[in-house]
Structure 1
Amino acid sequence: MSMPSLARAIAAAVLTVCASSVFVLAPSVAGAQNFERPVRLIVPFAPGGTSDILARLISPKLSAAIGQSVVVENKPGAAGNLGADAVAKAQPDGHTLLLMDVGSLATAPSLFSDLTFDVQKDLAPISMVMFGPYVLAVHESVPAKTSKELIEYAKANPNKLTVANSGVGGANHITAVVMAKELGIQWKNVPYKGGAAASRAVVSGESGVIINGAAATMPFVTNKRLVGLAVTGEQRIASAPDLPTFKEAGLPGGDAGTWQGILTTGGTPPAMVARLNAEIRKILELPEIQQKIAEQGGVVRAQSPEEFRNWLKDATTRWGTIIREAGIKGS
C-alpha cells in the first residue's frame, strides 16, 4: 500500500473509532438527564406551611417539564431532619427531591450531635427558590397592637408570653431568641411540627406570639384571626402595606426570613442536577409563578447549584455561631 493510501486508511479508521465513541457516549450523557419514573418531592413539614405551598405550586410545572409525575410527600418531624434524612439516603439519581426552609439545614449541624446525615455531603443543592419575610403577629388576647406595645408588655410580664415556632433551632426560633436577647425581654419558645401548626396554635390562643413565614401567616392576619405587627425584609409586603418593617419598628432581626430551596441526594450526577436546575429556573421565571410568590410576600431567588452550595456553607457558619452563643440545643 502506498503512503498516501496508508494515510487515508489510518484517517478513515480514526474517524470510525471517533464516530463509534460518540455513538456509545451520547446515550449515556442523555440518559443521565432523563427521568425514568415518578419523582418524589419531599416537604419535611406538615401541610399548609410555606414549603408545602411552594411545593404544590411548582410540582405541576416540573411534572410537565420532565414528563413524569411529581408527587408532593409531607414527612414532618425532628425540625425537618426526618424528611431531609429520607432524601439524603435515597438513590442518587435525582428522582427524590427536598423542598424546605434551608435555614433549618444550616442550623442542624450545630443543634443536633446525633444528626444522621451530613448536610454538605449527603445533599446536593439544586436551586434556591425564594426568600420570604417573616411576619410578627399575636393572638387577639395579647394586649398589643404595635411592636412597641408588645415589647412593653413582654418587659412588664417576664415569661408570660409564649412564642410558637416551626421547630427547635429553626430560623424563626433563633430570630425570637435574638430578639429577646437584644430587647432585654423574656418569653417562652414553644416548638411545633412546622410553620402551619405554629400558626394554628397562635390562632387558637394556645400560644400568644408567632414569627413565621408570610405565606403561611398572612392569611390569618388578613382574615383578622391574628394581629399583624411587623415584617422582616427590606420593604413592606404588597399584601400588607400597613405593616411596618422590623427596621421601621425598631426591632432587631430584620434580615431574617424563610429561605426556601430545592435539593436532591448527594452523589446525583451533575448532568441531572443541571437539568433540574434549568427546569426549576424556567418555572420560577414564569409570570404567574412570580405573581403567586409575590402574593405570598415572597421574592424569587433562583441560584445556580454552586451559588446555593456557597450560601448554605456560609449560613451554616453564621447561624452556628449564634446557636453556640445562645446555648440552643436541639431535641
Structure 2
Amino acid sequence: MDRRTALGLAAGALVLPMGRRAAAQAFDHPVRLIVPFAPGGTSDILARLLAPDLTRAFGQNVVVENRTGAGGNIGADLVAKSPPDGHTLLIIDVSTLATAPSLYTRFPFDLKRDLAPVTMLIYAPYILAIHPSVPARNAAELVAYARANPPRVNVGHAGVGVGNHLTGLLVTQHWGADLTQVPYRGGAAALTAVAAGESQMIINGATATAPFCKQGTLRPIAVTGPARLADFPDVPTFQELGWPAADSGTWQGVLAQGGTPAPMVNRIANDLRTAMAVPTTAERIAALGAVNRVEGPDSFRTWLDNEIEVWSRVVRANNIKLD
C-alpha cells in the first residue's frame, strides 16, 4: 500500500464519524424550551429573552412552553422522558432542581441519569421583600415584628422544597420566628400574592422581584449574594446581617435529556453562550440584577452534584418530604 492510498483510506475513515457528528448537531424540527413554572418568573423571563436568538442559531423555531406543578418536577420529568436529540430543553432554577431527589421518596426520574447539564446561564440573588403594610422599614424591625407577631407574617414561596422555600426556612429559624410558609405555583404567583397582601413576605429571585420593589408594591429588606444591588444600594446583604444562606439565589441553567449526544450538548451550550453575549441581552440581564454565569457542561454537572448534597442536608434537617 503506497502513502497516497493509505492517506486516502484514513481520510475516508473520518467521513462517517464526522458525518455522524454533524447529524447529531443538526436541528430538523422546532425546539421546545420547557419552563416548569408559571409565566412571569425568572426562568420564564430568561427563556423568552433567549428564544429569538436561539431560533436564529438553531435554524428552527424555539417554542417556550410553561409546564407547571410539583415544584418544577412536572416540566423536568417531561424533558427527562423526551427523545435524547436536543429538541426538548429544560430551563430551570437548578438549585430548586437539586432539592428534588431528597424531597421525594418516589421520584419520577433519576436526575443524574435522565437529565444532561448543558450550561449554567445566570445567577440572580434573592431579594427578601415585604408587603408595605408590614410595619418594618429595615431588617431589625422586621425580625422584631416577626418574633412578636408570627401569625401576621405569611411567607410566600414558589413551592415546597424549592430553593426560596428552604432559604426562607433557614432565615426565619435563625430569627427565632415560627412563620407560616405558604406555597404557590411558582415564583410569579407568589410575587403576585405578596404584592396583593395575601402573604406578607417573600424571598425570591431579583430578576423577577426587583420590578415590584421599584414600583413600591413590595419593600426590599435584604439581598443574598456577595454585594448590595446597584438598584437598591441601601438594602444590606444577608452576609452583612449575619443571616444564613448568604450565597443562595436563583441559578438558572439549561438541561437536555440524558443520553443526548455530546456534540449536540456542546453545540447547544455554545449557541447559548453566544446568545447570552448579545449586547441587548447582556444589558437586559444586568438590568434585572443578574450575573452572566455561562459555563460548560462538565463544570455545570460538578456544581449540580454539589448542590444536591448541600440541600439534601437542609431537607433532612427539617424533615421535609413530598409524596
TM class, shorter-length: over 0.9
Equivalents in 2 of 1:112, 1:151: separation in Å? 32
CA–CA separation in structure 2 for the residues paired with 1:207 and 1:166: 12
Runs of 4 or more, structure 1, over 4 Å off, are: none
Give 2:238's aligned residue.
246
Aligned partners of 2:121, 2:16: CA distance in 1, in Å? 36
**Identical columns (%):** 50
Partner of residue 317, structure 1:
309
**Contact 1:231 1:243 (8 Å CA) reproduced:** yes
Distance, in Å, in 2 between the alignment partners of 1:299 and 1:286 is 14
Q: 1-side partners of 2:138 and 2:153: how far apart?
A: 15
CA RMSD of the aligned region, Å?
1.3
* Pairwise CA distance, 1:23: 3.3
Q: How does 1:1-331 map to 2 (within 5 A)?
A: 7-8=1-2, 11=3, 13-330=5-322
Kindly state the Cα deviation for residue 114 of structure 1 after the two structures are TM-superposed: 1.5
Q: Tell me which moved more, 231-240 or 185-194.
A: 231-240
Structure 1: tracts of 5 or more residues without a match: 1-6
CA contact (8 A) 2:103 2:320 kept: yes
Q: Which amino acid aligns with 2:245?
A: G
Shift of 1:228: 1.1
Superposition deviation, residue 141 in structure 1: 1.5
Per-residue CA shift, 1:145-199, capped at 9, x if unaligned?
A: 1111111011112343110000110110001111122221110101111100000
Shift of 1:326: 1.3
SS at match of 1:32: helix
Classify the secondary structure of the residue corresponding to 1:35: coil
Residue by residue, what CA displacement relative to the aligned partner does 1:31-61 show, whole Å, maximum 9, x if unpaired? 1111111100000000000000000111111
Distance (Å, rounded) in 2 between the aligned partners of 1:330 and 1:285? 39
Greater alpha carbon shift after TM alignment, 13-22 vs 243-252: 13-22
Q: Is the 8 A contact 1:239 1:296 kept in 2?
A: no
Question: Within 1, Cα distance between the matches of 2:92 and 2:15?
Answer: 40
Distance 1:54 1:202 in 2: 22
Number of residue pairs matched? 323
1:252 deviates by 2.6
Deviation at 1:19, TM superposition (A): 3.6
User: Contact (CA 8 Å) 2:105, 2:321: kept in 1 or not?
Assistant: no
**Aligned partners of 2:4 and 2:100: how far apart in 1?**
59
* Greater mean alpha carbon deviation, residues 133-142 or residues 13-22: 13-22
On the 8 A contact 1:148/1:249 being kept in 2, the answer is no
**Within 2, Cα distance between the matches of 1:25 and 1:81?**
36
Match of 1:189, SS? Answer: strand
Q: Residue 126 of structure 1 contacts residue 305 of structure 1 at CA under 8 Å; is this kept in 2?
A: yes
Deviation at 1:25, TM superposition (A): 3.2
Q: What's the offset of the Cα at 1:12?
A: 5.1
| Deviation (angstroms), 1:240 | 2.1
- Greater mean alpha carbon deviation, residues 61-70 or residues 258-267: 61-70
Q: Structure 1: which amino acid aligns with 2:64?
A: V
Alpha-carbon distance change, 26 to 253 in structure 1, aligned in 2, over 3 angstroms: closer
1:135 aligns to what SS in structure 2? strand
Distance 2:16 2:317 in 1: 56
For residues 266-300 of structure 1, the C-alpha deviation after alignment (integer angstroms, 9 at most, x for no partner) is: 00000000111111112222332221111111101
TM norm structure 2: 0.96
CA displacement, residues 214-258 of structure 1 (integer Å, 9 cap, x when unaligned)? 111111111111111111111111222222212233433221100
Paired amino acid for 1:296: L
Q: Which has the larger radius of gyration?
A: 1
Contact between 1:238 and 1:295, CA under 8 Å: does it hold in 2? no
State the distance in 2 between where 1:177 and 1:272 align.
39
**Runs of 5+ unmatched residues, structure 2:** none
How many Å separate the matches in 2 of 1:20 and 1:303? 35
